[in-house]
Amino acid sequence: MATRKGSHIDGDELRRIAEVRFGTIPEINPGTGSETSRVSHELEVHKIELAMQNKELHKARDEMEVMLEKYTDLFEFAPVSYFTLDSGGVVRGVNQTGASLLGMERSLVTGRSFEKFIAAAARPAFADFLKSVFESLAKETCEVVLQKRDNSHLFVQIEAIAAASGEECRVALVDVSERRCAEDALKASEERHRSILHMAMDGYWLLDKQERILEVNESYCKMSGYTKQELLGRSISLLDASGSGDEGSGGVQRILAQGEARFETRHRRKDGTIFDVEVSVQYLPVEGGRLVVFLRDISKRTRADKEKTVLEAQLLQAQKMESVGRLAGGVAHDFNNMLSVIIGNTNLALMDLEAAHPVRSNIEEIRKAAERSAELTRQLLTFARKQAIAPRVLDLNQTVTGMLTMLKQAVGENIVLSWLPQEVLWPVMVDPNQIDQTLVNLCVNARDSITEVGKITIETDNSVIDADACARNPGCLPGEYVRIAVSDNGCGMDKETLAQIFEPFFTTKGVGKGTGLGLSTVYGITKQNNGFISVSSEQGSGTAVTINLPRYRGKVAQAVPKETAQAVILGQETILLVEDELAILNITTVILRRLGYTVLAAQSPGEAIRLAGENSGEIYLLMTDVVMPEMSGRELAKRLLTLYPHFKCLFMSGYTTEVIAHHGVLDDGIHFIQKPFTIAVLAAKLRETLDGAKPP
């Protein structure tokens, strides 16, 4: 035991010190001088050693006091709050940091139950935690919510360990509010982004490197028809319908190398249907590698692009056909005028020549060639929708039935002509001559596609065209239609041929076997009557041409019997003939007089008005060209009606114009004859006009 500096050491104390230093000291005989001297010496030495040790002890104590003061400060103001709790949870000690954390003086903290500083909702959990600490005598950790003096809350992490005696435990608290707020904010952000991904209109996948679906949003489930449960964990090969490998292992490796990719592909729905998707992929080097995939259904866009391509092709085709139509309309007038002169003169010559005359056969050939040329011109005008028509209400079943005999003769005995009419058919408003022309063209084309024996089928039925059908047949409108279809089992056509069939002068027939205007004429007739036409064909499987004509909803009049060939009918009335082309004026005058009529011939509207004013007799008919200098034929007719209010009008032209027709359709009550015409056709038209009711 050390003594303080300067203290007196008596004998007994010295003996105790000696015993500490040397152990038990035997009794010493005081009479022995030598032994006393040795002990005294040893004691002096020991006193010196003790004095040195005492000095070192004082120094060590001073250093310890300094260190204790330093560590006390560190403990009091450490960034960690320290509490000492007894087994009942009462605070027995707290550092300054802990008191400051609670916003209270230290004196107000000690002696209170620590549960008072815990938020009410968290107290039961903390009580269980503290009980576990005292039972286990091991370090335990938890997070609780502290309630400060100002009633604000803190998130703290607690580490607690009980003393071996089990009478108290030491608790360390760290304020983790910022971390918890950051975690909550991160969690909220993740939830928000997850919600956005799952509510987005585009589809979303999260894939691993093996192309397994780890996450999928509701939008893609709606696209594909699968549920989330059916897709999670599945390979995307279940969905890929492209066959291109964009989403195969090769595609994934490319994405891993590039970090991202964008492409278009096709997916297969649960019901087996295919849809187009635009795919955007981003590689994330987390958790062994993840692929974030966004998918957009572009089926509508793809369909729109295809429709746009089709419409552009149709527009180009329409522009090309319109150009041909303008060309045909431009030349038709002059060409038909010349043909009128040729046909008129040949007809007159044939009327004057005996059957055995040596030049009669030559003139017959001239007439036939001129009439074939006139037919070509009519086909061009029909294609261009510039041919004048006189539509009337028809029952197509009756019209086709009346043509069957002629059609069977046209297709030949080696081909079976099958007629399959709909029992009750809606009426249509169309020129019957156009139906005749359409059926002849289609049946002749079908006949030429059959090598030896075969079958041609003509069908009619009613059809209702909806918006979806219109999308597949650009150019048509929704509504009720009457369908007439002509199909065959001939050689069919390839796609390249099928794309050109309506182009004028395009033909697959040999030289001299076709003009290439048959289907062009059918196309023009259909469009002129506000219908639409479609053709389906495959090589070796035949061809089907379907025409849809609008249902007529007006009053249906009694059917007019079809005209039959008859002899030339003569007349005796006075006709005012107006034609600015002198050659036509002359030949038509001769023909009219041959037919028994009295003719007042005028080469201009002004001359016609003069002749009408000078004429003292009755003029029964005005026969006039439509397009002339000075004024049109219709305007001339209006002027002359003031002089002869009861006369009839017969218009003639090489092509129709808006003067007498709208879009090629004759106005009600208009009588019209197309140039060039034969004597028989003219004779019949004259009687029809003169004997019919006066135009309104």
Mean pLDDT (whole number) for 117-144: 86
For 18, list phi and psi in degrees, rounded to 5: -65, -40
- Alpha helices in 291-431, H assignment, sequence order: 299-352, 360-383, 396-411
Residue type present at position 88:
G
* b/e burial code for range 271-307 (CB count within 10 A of at least 16 → b): eeeebbbbbebebeeeeeebbbbbbbbebeebeeeee
Count CA within 13 A, CB hemisphere, residue 321.
26
Q: What pLDDT is recorded for position 611?
A: 92
Q: Where are the domains of the chain?
A: 11-71, 81-174, 182-297, 309-381, 396-550, 574-691
pLDDT digits 0-9 by tens, 263-276? 888 899 999 899 99
Report residue 667 as tokens: 């106005």
User: In the CATH scheme, what is the homologous superfamily, with its name and number, of domain 396-550?
Assistant: Histidine kinase-like ATPase, C-terminal domain (3.30.565.10)
Report residue 311 as tokens: 């419409």
User: 398: buried, middle or exposed (CB in 10 Å: 19+, 13-18, 0-12)?
Assistant: middle
User: In the CATH scheme, what is the homologous superfamily, with its name and number, of domain 182-297?
Assistant: PAS domain (3.30.450.20)
Of the ranges 26-30, 282-286, 587-591, which is most confident?
587-591
Q: What pLDDT is recorded for position 650?
A: 92
Q: Is the pTM of this model over 0.85?
A: no
Q: How far is CA 344 from CA 364, 365, 526, 575, 624, in A?
A: 12, 14, 32, 18, 17
Measured in whole angstroms, how far is the alpha carbon of residue 511 from the centre of its chain?
46
Q: What pLDDT is recorded for position 249?
A: 42
Report residue 555 as tokens: 């009053």
Q: State the pLDDT confidence band at 134, using cuts at 50, 70 and 90.
A: confident
Mean pLDDT (whole number) for 189-209: 76
Q: What pLDDT is recorded for position 693?
A: 47
Q: State the pLDDT confidence band at 73, using cuts at 50, 70 and 90.
A: low
Same fold, 81-174 and 182-297: yes
CATH number of the 81-174 domain: 3.30.450.20
pLDDT digits 0-9 by tens, 216-247? 888 889 889 999 899 999 888 888 887 654 44
Q: What pLDDT is recorded for position 599?
A: 93
CATH number of the 574-691 domain: 3.40.50.2300
Q: State the pLDDT confidence band at 13, using cuts at 50, 70 and 90.
A: low
State the Cα–Cα distance between residues 99 and 342, nearest whole angstrom.
125
Asked whether the predicted pLDDT for residue 12 surpasses 60, the reply is no
- Does residue 188 contact residue 210 with C-beta atoms inside 8 Å? no
CATH number of the 309-381 domain: 1.10.287.130
Query: CB neighbours of 615 closer than 8 A, spacing ≥ 6?
Result: 574, 576, 600
Least Cα distance to 615 among 624, 623, 605, 607 occurs for 607
Query: CB neighbours of 472 closer than 8 A, spacing ≥ 6?
Result: none
C-alpha Rg value of the chain to the nearest Å = 57
pLDDT digits 0-9 by tens, 561-615? 444 444 567 888 999 999 998 988 999 999 999 999 999 999 999 999 999 988 8
pLDDT digits 0-9 by tens, 46-72? 777 777 777 777 777 766 766 666 655
Q: Which helix (H) or strand (E) holds 614?
A: helix 605-614
